[in-house]
Structures are given as structure tokens and as C-alpha cells.
Amino acid sequence: MIDRILDNAHQGKKLNKPEILQLFEIIDKEDFKKLLKIASNIRDSISDDIKLTSTIHLTNICKVNPKCKYCGFASNTSKEGYYNGFYKKHDEILKIAECVDKTEIPRISCSGAHGYNGRQAVEAAKIVKSKTSLELLVNVGTDLTPSAIKELAKYNTDTICCNLETINEELFNRLKPGERLEDRIKICEMVCEEGIELSSGLLIGVGESYEDRVDHLLFLKKFKTLGEIPIMGFNPYKGTPMEYHPKCSIEEQMKTIAITRILYPKIRITVPTPTIGPKNVEYSLLAGANNLATVVPQDYPLSIKGVGNPSYGNLDDILNVVADLGLKIGSKY
Ligand code: SF4
């Protein structure tokens, strides 16, 4: 049975929900290897270019209350994270963007906590897009208004990210008691209506079932401008309510990346270096990912902590991993 499903995946045939579920249930090592091979071949048949995305954290002062149970990014959540509140000044945003722009990294993410109606995102977009040649992703979750989305479009923001994390509503409410799933879906719809590329991803290993993951991946099909799916494996941040929840295994992350690639051959699949762990990024590439996020050049001018995990990927190390796998970094211009 699994051989037939893998063959159909290999031939690019459409899989139904029970078949996708069976891919998630693979435990045999050889079948697992086949799954990864099929996924990475699908990616390479379209392009073996790997995208790199750096990051600017705009602010960690988050007005969502109560805080998301896993969050170690917002101020006063985890001593491993930033802990102290900050709000990046315009000259700091510019300094980081200019530093990244001088490297092989073609793209930057400007992300931040909630409570500003998108002003922090719009100001950052204006700086990055007027002063650098970087592609720009903005991620401030649901902290956007229709006019802020229009302004982001005006400044040529390439992508807006709003991760649903999980579409199991009961689980969402437990993990994110200060937010509503419907608000996140609404932002995704507004981004699509504006014609801006949407990025929307899954947080995995947080208590969701395989069926939840399949439903989530199929749900994303409804977003017309969806161009990117981040796959984020859970890592516990010390001091948070989920400190003792087990981290998501590499195998689960690889399986989810590979199945996402089979369902979305052409999409950008993003793996944040903090969530998979900087030493494990090769596994995400072997599974069919094609964008590594939170990649930081050596001379990054300010201190930085990853979201989901304090560590992050060093540019030189990442370049070596990509080259060792025979892949290449997409050209910058
Ligand atoms: S995960 Fe985002 S929205 Fe939730 S508390 Fe942290 S910064 Fe705020």
C-alpha cells in the first residue's frame, strides 16, 4: 500500500487525505528514506536554488495577554530569550539591513510582537525597501490593519507572514489563549485580497495529531497568494509554561517538510534555523526545504536571539552545508 502511495507521489499524482495520512504514519526506515528522496527530487526538478533569509526583530514588547504558552521571545517570558523589552530604532533597523545586504543573503524578515496596528512593520518596510535591494518578508502576526497591509504593499513588501500554527482550534486556544485562530485566518485572507504573497506555516510537535497536520496543509490550499510554508518544530524555551513539553524530533520535522513538498511542489518551504537547530539544517534540505531562515552574518551589528530557540544559523556555516549537499544559493539579483 505505502509503495503505491509513494509511487503516486513520485509521479506527481494527487493524493487524497487518507493517503497523505499514511505518509505521516511511515515508520519503516526504507520508506522514510524513499519519502525524503521523492520530496528532494521534486524540489530539485523545479530548482535546486536554496534561499536564505536573515532577520530583524523589531520589538519583543507584546501586548497579547495572556502570552502564548510557548513564547520565549516576548519580554519577561524567558531568561534564555531577550527577556528585557526593546523596540528597535530606525537607525538600528537600517544598520542591520545594510549589513545583510552586503552578504550573499537576498532576503530579510522583519518580525515583531503585537500591539502596534502594523506601524512597526510599515516603518521597517519603508527603511528596508528604500535603502537596500533585499527582498522583504514582514511577520507581525495579526497585528495588522487593512490600511497597514495597503501601506506594506505600497512599499513593495514581497511577502507577509501570518502563521496559523495549528488549525486544531481547541489546541490553538490552549497554546495561544490571548489570540483567536479566526483573526489569523482573517489576516491571511486580507493579505491575499491585497495580492501580496502570503507565508503561513505550521508549528509542529505541540500536541497536534497527524490528522491535524494533514487538515492544516490542505486548508492552506484555499489561500490564492500562498507562496511560502514555514515548518517550525517546537523547542521548549526555559521559564515558559511549555518548558517541559518535549521538543519536536528531527524525523518529525523532516517527514512534515517532505510531505509539504509533495503537496506543494513549487512552494517555498521555510525552515527557521532556530527551530530545527543550526547543526541540523542539512536534514531540512534533504527533506525538500528550500529556504533557511534566521541566517545571520558574522558581523551582524546587534545582539540576536532566535524565535522558538535562542540559537540561530551562522551564514558561513550555512553556506558550507548548502555547498556540501551539492545545492546552490539562489542568485541575489
Ligand atoms: S508568540 Fe508572538 S503573539 Fe504570542 S506572546 Fe509571543 S510575541 Fe506575543
Using pLDDT thresholds of 50, 70 and 90, give the confidence band for residue 75. Answer: very high
Q: Which residue's CA lies nearest to atom 5 of ligand 1?
A: 67
Taking the C-alpha atoms of residue 56 and residue 54, their distance in angstroms, rounded to an integer, is 7
Domain ranges of the chain: 47-329
The pLDDT assigned to 333 comes to: 60
Query: Who lines ligand 1 at CB under 6 A?
Result: 62, 64, 67-68, 71, 73-74, 113-114, 141
> What mean pLDDT comes out for the span 244-273?
97
State the distance from the centre of ligand 1 to the C-alpha of 114, rounded, in angstroms.
7
To the nearest 10 degrees (0 to 180), the angle between helices 210-219 and 17-24 is 130
State the distance from the centre of ligand 1 to the C-alpha of 295, rounded, in angstroms.
21
- Best residue among 55, 68, 116 to mutate for probing ligand 1, ranked by most atoms within 8 Å of CB: 68
Homologous superfamily of domain range 47-329: Aldolase class I (3.20.20.70)
Ligand 1 atom closest to the CA of 62, numbered from 1: 8
| 190, amino acid identity | M
State the distance from the centre of ligand 1 to the C-alpha of 68, rounded, in angstroms.
6
| 15, amino acid identity | L
C-alpha cell at 118: 502594523
pLDDT digits over 92-141, tens only? 999 999 999 999 999 999 999 999 999 999 999 999 999 999 999 999 99
* Alpha-carbon 112 to chain mean position: 14
Average pLDDT score, the chain: 96
Provide the whole-model pTM. Answer: 0.97
The pLDDT assigned to 310 comes to: 82
As beta bridge partners, residue 136 has 108
Q: Which residue's CA lies nearest to atom 7 of ligand 1?
A: 113
Taking the C-alpha atoms of residue 292 and residue 270, their distance in angstroms, rounded to an integer, is 6
> What mean pLDDT comes out for the span 152-180?
98
> What mean pLDDT comes out for the span 265-283?
94
The pLDDT assigned to 311 comes to: 83
With residue 132 as reference, give the H or E element that holds it: none
Taking the C-alpha atoms of residue 175 and residue 171, their distance in angstroms, rounded to an integer, is 6
Length of the chain: 333
Taking the C-alpha atoms of residue 41 and residue 48, their distance in angstroms, rounded to an integer, is 9
Taking Cα atoms as reference points, which of 280, 260, 284, 251 lies closest to residue 27? 251
